[in-house]
Amino acid sequence: MTRAKTLAKTLTWHTKSFGSLSNSELYSMLRLRSEVFVVEQDCVYLDLDNYDQKAHHLIALDAESEVLCCARIVAPGIKYAGASIGRIVTSPSLRGSGKGKALVREAIDACCTLYPDAEITISAQQHLEAFYAAFEFKTASPPYLEDGIPHIQMTRDARS
């Protein structure tokens, strides 16, 4: 597929509970996470951490129903005091298309709809600090290693 065709992809966004994901959507989502987090970033870690079943999942599907972007939205009190967004990932085929920014905007909107009075916490790769700061996330911790990659905790105030 050429770069021009990749950039023109139309995605449909869905926020679903774990139980409402189809088998194909779940497989495609987990495959994308593995492709980027495990293979591309060369990071051996346990992606299946028992939070997926308790979460809502934002997925962006292309015309063939393949998940090309996804994020996990966890309710307040499960991982952090507030809500959290994690496993934020965009397909390598969409890099440079602006879909990563769209994914974060959609994830924040979904999180605010599900948990309107909760702050949002993320565990961000440190090199993406400025990227998330553009979405009003503020650094809330010193750097720490998570799966061998420098991370920082960032929070975004609750919106009413």
| CATH number for the domain harbouring residue 113 | 3.40.630.30
* Count: domains in the chain: 1
Report the distance separating Cα 36 and Cα 28, nearest Å.
12
pLDDT in tens, 41-99: 888 888 899 999 999 999 999 999 999 999 999 999 999 999 999 999 999 999 899 99
Q: Which residue has the tokens 């998940």?
A: 67
Structure tokens at 116: 């309107």
Given a cut of 60, is residue 160 above it in pLDDT?
no
Structural domain of residue 95, as residue ranges? Answer: 3-156
User: In the predicted model, what is the mean pLDDT of the chain?
Assistant: 92
36: exposed, middle or buried (Cβ count in 10 Å: 0-12, 13-18, 19+): middle
Nearest to 12 by CA among 91, 72, 102, 113: 102
User: How much is the pTM?
Assistant: 0.91
CB 107 within 8 A of CB 156: no
Nearest to 74 by CA among 82, 63, 83: 83
SS3 31: helix
Tell me the mean pLDDT in the region 138-145. Answer: 97
Structure tokens at 121: 């916490």
What's the confidence (pLDDT) of residue 121? 98
